[in-house]
Chain A
Amino acid sequence: MKQLNVTELDFDQIKANLITYFKQHESGAYKDWDFEGSGLNQMLDVLAYNTHYNAILAHNSLNESFIDSAQIRSNVVSRAKLLGYTPRSRKASRATLALRFSSSINEGRESYTFASGSKFTTVLNDITYTFITVEDYTVQLDAVNDEYFFPKVEIYQGRIKHNKYVVDDINLNQKFEIDDDTIDVSNLEVNIYDNARTNSFQAYVPFSEIGGVTGDSNIYFINENYAGNYEVSFGDNIFGKKPDRLNIIDFKYISTLGSEANGATIFNWVGSGISPNITLISKSSEGAEKEDIESIRFNAPLSFVAQNRTVTIDDYKSIISQNITGIQTLSIWGGQDNNPPEYGKVFISGKPVDGDTLSIQQKDEIESLLKNKKVIAILPKIVDPEYTYLYFDVLFKYDSNRTSLGQGQLQSKVRRVIEEYNTDQLQQFDNIFRYSQLLSIVDNSDFSILNSFIRVFVYKTLDINYGNLTPIGLDFDMELYGEIDEEESIISSDPWTFGGITYRLADETKNGSINERNIYAYRETSSGERIKVYKSIGSLFMKEGIVKINPLPVEQNESINIYVSPASNDIVSKRNNLLSIDVDRTQITADVDTISVSGSSGAIDYKTFNRHR
Chain B
Amino acid sequence: MSNVLSDYNKERSSNVSKRALYSDLPINFKDVHPNYKDIIALKDIDAVKQSVQNLILTNRGERPFQPKVGSNITRLLFEPADVFTASAIKSEILTVLKRYEPRVTDVTVQVFDNSDRNAYNITIGFKVIFSEIPQEINFYLERLR
What is A's interface to B at a CB cutoff of 8 Å?
1-7, 11-12, 25, 27-32, 35-40, 42-43, 45, 48-49, 52
A52 to B55, CA, bound (A): 24
Does B109 have its Cβ within 8 Å of any Cβ on chain A?
A: no
Closest Cβ of chain A to B122, distance in Å, is 16
> Is B52 engaged at the interface, CB distance under 8 Å to the other chain?
yes
Which residues from B are CB-within-8-Å of A49?
64-65
With both beta carbons as reference points, the residue of chain B lying nearest to A24 in the complex is identified as B7
Give the CA-CA distance A52 to B65 in the complex, in Å: 11
Taking the complex as formed, is B23 at the interface, i.e. its CB lies under 8 A from any CB of chain A? yes
Say whether B1 contacts A5, CB under 8 Å. Answer: yes
Is A37 a contact partner of B54 (Cβ separation < 8 A)? yes
Q: How far is the CA of A29 from the CA of B25 in the complex (A)?
A: 9
Q: Which residues of chain A are near B5, meaning CB under 8 Å?
A: 1-3
Is B63 in contact with chain A by the CB < 8 A criterion? yes
Q: A39 contacts B24, CB within 8 Å? A: yes
Using known A-B contacts A35-B51, A36-B100, A40-B25, determine if residue A12 contacts B1 with beta carbons closer than 8 Å.
no
Chain A residues lying within 8 Å of B65, measured Cβ to Cβ, are 11-12, 49, 52
| A3 adjacent to B51 (CB under 8 Å) | no
Chain A CB within 8 A of B82 CB: no
Q: Pull 21 A–B residue pairs with CB atoms less than 8 Å apart, ordered by A.
A: A3-B3, A3-B4, A4-B3, A11-B65, A25-B7, A29-B14, A29-B15, A29-B23, A29-B38, A31-B21, A32-B22, A35-B102, A36-B100, A36-B101, A37-B58, A37-B101, A38-B47, A39-B25, A39-B42, A42-B54, A43-B25
B22 contacts which chain A residues (CB < 8 A)?
Answer: 31-32
Instruction: Tell me, rounded to whole Å, the shortest Cβ–Cβ distance linking B87 to chain A.
Output: 23
CA–CA, A36 to B48, complex, Å?
11
* With contact pairs A3-B5, A38-B47 given, residues A30 and B24 touching in the complex (Cβ less than 8 Å): yes
Residues of B within 8 A of A38 (CB): 24-25, 47, 50-51, 54
Bound: A551/B63 CA distance, A: 83
Known: A7-B1, A45-B64. A39 touches B69 (CB 8 A): no
Residues of A near B63 (CB, < 8 A) are 36, 42, 45
Q: Name the distance in Å between B131's Cβ and chain A's nearest Cβ.
A: 16
| A29 in contact with B41 given A37-B100, A49-B64 (CB within 8 Å) | yes
| Residues of the A chain whose Cβ atoms lie less than 8 Å from the Cβ of B47 | 32, 38
Q: Is the CB of B66 within 8 A of A45?
A: yes
B14 contacts which of A6, A7, A27 (Cβ < 8 Å)?
A27
Other CB < 8 Å A-B pairs besides A30-B25, A35-B51, 8 of them?
A6-B3, A7-B2, A29-B23, A36-B63, A37-B101, A39-B50, A40-B25, A43-B25
Q: Closest residue to B4 on the A side, CB-wise?
A: A4
User: Is A6 within 8 A of B2, CB to CB?
Assistant: yes
Most chain B CB within a 10 A radius of its CB, from A6, A32, A43: A32
Distance in Å: Cβ of A49 to nearest Cβ of chain B: 4
Q: How far is the CB of A283 from chain B (nearest CB, A)?
A: 57
Q: Is B14 touching A28 in the complex (CB atoms < 8 A)? A: yes
Q: B residues within 8 A CB of A30?
A: 16, 23-25, 41
- Shortest distance from the beta carbon of B27 to any chain A beta carbon, whole Å: 4
Most chain B CB inside 10 Å of its own CB: which residue of A6, A7, A12, A36 = A36
Contact across chains for B4 and A6 when beta carbons are under 8 A apart:
yes
Is B103 close to A, CB under 8 A? Answer: yes
From A5, A11, A42, A52, B27 is in contact (CB under 8 Å) with: A42
Residues on the A chain within 8 Å of B15, using CB: 29
- Nearest-neighbour CB distance to chain A for B14, whole angstroms, equals 5
Q: Report B19-59 CB contacts with A as 1/0, cut-off 8 Å.
A: 01111111100000000001001100001001111110010
Which residues of B sit under 8 angstroms from A40, Cβ to Cβ? 24-25
Smallest Cβ distance from A38 to chain B, in angstroms? 5
| Chain A residue with Cβ nearest B47 | A32
List the B side residues contacting A3 at CB < 8 Å.
3-5
Residues in A with CB closer than 8 Å to B25 are 30, 38-40, 43
The docked-state distance in angstroms from the alpha carbon of A29 to that of B15 is 7
Q: In the complex, what residues of B have CB within 8 A of residue A1's CB? A: 5
Q: Does chain A have a CB within 8 A of B145?
A: no
**Do A37 and B3 form a contact, CB below 8 Å, given A27-B14, A31-B23, A45-B64?**
no
Q: Which residue of A lies closest to B21 (CB)?
A: A31
Per the bound structure, the CA–CA distance linking A6 and B4 in Å amounts to: 8
Q: Within the complex, what minimum Cβ distance (angstroms) separates A586 from chain B?
A: 50
A37: chain B residues at CB < 8 Å are: 50-55, 58, 100-101
A32 near B24 with CB under 8 A, answer yes
Q: A5-B3, A35-B100, A42-B27 are in contact. Are A29 and B16 (CB under 8 A)?
A: yes
Cβ 8 A contact of A35, one of B18, B20, B101: B101
CB distance from A37 to the nearest CB of B (A): 3
Within 8 A of A (CB), among B51-108: 51-55, 58, 63-66, 69, 100-103
Which residues of chain A have C-beta atoms less than 8 A from B69's C-beta?
A: 36
Q: B55 to A39, Cβ gap below 8 A?
A: no
Q: Which residues of A contact B41 (CB under 8 A)?
A: 29-30
Measured CA separation A48–B65 after assembly (Å): 10
The 6 A-B pairs at the shortest CB distance, nearest first, are namely A37-B51, A37-B55, A39-B27, A39-B25, A32-B24, A4-B4
Pick from A7, A32, A36, A48: contact of B55, CB below 8 A: A36
Residue numbers in B under 8 Å from A42 (CB-CB)? 27, 54, 63
B26 and A39 form a contact (CB under 8 A):
yes
* Docked CA distance A28–B22 (Å): 11
Complex: chain A residue closest to B18, CB-CB: A27
By beta carbon, the residue of chain B nearest A27 is: B14
**What are the residues of chain B within 8 A of A2 when measuring CB–CB?**
5, 7
Chain A residues whose C-beta falls within 8 Å of the C-beta of B7 in the assembled complex = 2, 25
Cβ distance B139 to chain A, nearest Cβ, rounded Å: 15
A29, chain B: closest CB distance, angstroms: 5
Distance, CA A38 to CA B5, complexed state (A): 25
Q: Closest residue of chain A to B102, judged by CB?
A: A35
Instruction: Give Cα distance in the complex from A25 to B55, angstroms.
Output: 26
Question: Smallest CB–CB gap between B29 and chain A, Å?
Answer: 9
A515 CB to closest chain B CB (Å) equals: 67
